[in-house]
Amino acid sequence: MAGAPGTPRVLRAMNDRAALDLLIAHGPLTRTRLGELTGLSKPTASQLLTRLENAGLVRRTGSVTGRPGPSAQLYEIDPGIAHVAALAVDPEGITAQVADIAGTVAGEHRVRPEEGRETAELVARAVDGALAAAGLGRAALRHTVIGTPGALDPRTGVLRYAPHLPGWQSCTLRGELTAALGTPVVIENDVNLAAVAEQHAGAARGCGDYVLVWADEGVGAAVVLGGRLLRGATGGAGEIGYMPLPGAPLARGGDDATAGPDGGGGFQMLVSSSAVVALARSHGIDARTAPGALARAAELPGAGDDVFAELGRRLAVGLAAVVAVVDPALVVLSGAVCRAGGERLRAMAEAELTGLALPRPELRLSAVEGRPILTGALRTALAAARETAFDTA
């Protein structure tokens, strides 16, 4: 039976977890330094490290040299105690990463959709490919998180707002994936995962009330209030791509709200990648992609200035609607359109918001390098795996 709060057993477990978290955050530490960070005495820190080493959670990894006196032994998390899988899904394929418990990515693999292949089979192939690249087997995996467009309805288990992902709408899909991979599986909205990445190591670090606005092929938002993601009754909180706005037709998707990212109306018709390409073309700038269009616009006075001014106005209209309802301390701009528009687009949207009778949150560009959806999926999977692997109670 677990000890009552305040008993030596519970206090040991709390100290163990604090030490493990510090080793994750700081990397290898000496006994003395770990004692300083935890506030534990040297004897207690020594007992703690011995206990964690005997449990297979911590290992010795060299020593600190170049100082007066005996060299100090370094300790680190044993990275092989558990691995996790993080996946990002898009209409063109599935990318999987496998990382050890310390968060180091050990393997990656991408698969393309294939006619006749079941979704669970494709996911398993992506994970197996990443495991093979890492020199690992399925037994190493402890947890899996999958980022997809749309949102999983908690009442039905059906992925909504994503008909452009054929095969992902089955109400039994999560169970099929769990059976195929042999781990717990979480299916999370991709923009929510981008927000997790931003809070972990990006523009929202240290902020508990913020909105991440994602403008890419699809448009969406993640709303974080009090440090927690807001999902809504059907999982659709943040689906601002369908938000009715002046200048865009209404998005019509029926009662099941399954319209895709080009569902015929709403905010996405103003600021999505395809909308940016069309906007640029209307000003005589021809490009195949939104980043390409904005790169050319940035080099062209006159027409290029008009493209940025109009896009900044469109973005501000959507931001104003979100801010009026949520009143966040911070809005983070992410996705291919916002990244390509950069500081110029951010400043124009901010200028458009100036003077409105609304709260004025800080407006920042995303500070996450690489692929934020995969990063957020990895952070989420690691948090779940560590809860299990680091439980010494």
Which CATH number fits the domain that encloses residue 134? 3.30.420.40
Domain residues for 357? Answer: 204-367
Same domain for 240 and 347, yes or no, is yes
pLDDT confidence tier of residue 264, bands split at 50, 70 and 90: low
Q: pTM for the complete prediction?
A: 0.90
Q: Is residue 248 in some structural domain?
A: yes
Beta carbons of 128 and 134 less than 8 angstroms apart: no
Q: What is the DSSP letter of 80?
A: G
CATH of the domain at 54: 1.10.10.10
Q: Over 90: is that where the pLDDT of 373 sits?
A: yes
Same domain for 165 and 237, yes or no, is no
Same domain for 258 and 285, yes or no, is yes
Q: What is the pLDDT of residue 254?
A: 47
Q: What is the mean pLDDT of residues 226-252?
A: 88
Q: What is the mean pLDDT of residues 213-227?
A: 96
Q: Over 50: is that where the pLDDT of 257 sits?
A: no
Q: What is the mean pLDDT of residues 173-189?
A: 94
d(CA 382, CA 86): 9
Same domain for 121 and 252, yes or no, is no
pLDDT confidence tier of residue 252, bands split at 50, 70 and 90: low
Q: Over 60: is that where the pLDDT of 261 sits?
A: no
Q: Over 50: is that where the pLDDT of 255 sits?
A: no
Pure H helices in 65-216: 119-134, 173-181, 190-201
Q: Over 90: is that where the pLDDT of 209 sits?
A: yes
Q: Over 60: is that where the pLDDT of 258 sits?
A: no
Q: Over 70: is that where the pLDDT of 104 sits?
A: yes
Same domain for 172 and 263, yes or no, is no
Name the residue with higher pLDDT: 134 or 247: 134
Same domain for 188 and 232, yes or no, is no
Q: Is residue 30 in some structural domain?
A: yes
The residue out of 77, 98, 130 marking a domain boundary is 77
Same domain for 244 and 180, yes or no, is no
Q: Over 70: is that where the pLDDT of 31 sits?
A: yes
In the numeric block, which tokens belong to residue 82? 């558990």
At residue 90, φ and ψ (nearest 5 deg) are -145, 170
Name the residue with higher pLDDT: 249 or 12: 12
Work out how many domains the chain is built from and give that number. Answer: 3
Place of tokens 């990006």: 202
Q: Over 50: is that where the pLDDT of 192 sits?
A: yes
Q: Is residue 198 in some structural domain?
A: no
Same domain for 116 and 212, yes or no, is no
Q: Is residue 262 in some structural domain?
A: yes
Q: Is residue 178 in some structural domain?
A: yes
**Which sign, positive or negative, has the C-alpha torsion 218, 223, 229, 235?**
negative
d(CA 358, CA 173): 42
Average model confidence (pLDDT) for the chain? 91
Q: Is residue 385 in some structural domain?
A: yes
Same domain for 224 and 335, yes or no, is yes
Q: What is the pLDDT of residue 116?
A: 72
Q: Over 90: is that where the pLDDT of 184 sits?
A: yes
Same domain for 51 and 95, yes or no, is no
pLDDT confidence tier of residue 357, bands split at 50, 70 and 90: confident
Q: What is the DSSP letter of 250?
A: P
Same domain for 348 and 264, yes or no, is yes
At residue 388, φ and ψ (nearest 5 deg) are -85, -50
Q: What is the mean pLDDT of residues 85-107?
A: 96
Q: Is residue 236 in some structural domain?
A: yes
d(CA 208, CA 336): 24
Same domain for 96 and 236, yes or no, is no
Q: Is residue 199 in some structural domain?
A: no
The residue out of 45, 77, 109 marking a domain boundary is 77
Beta carbons of 381 and 145 less than 8 angstroms apart: yes
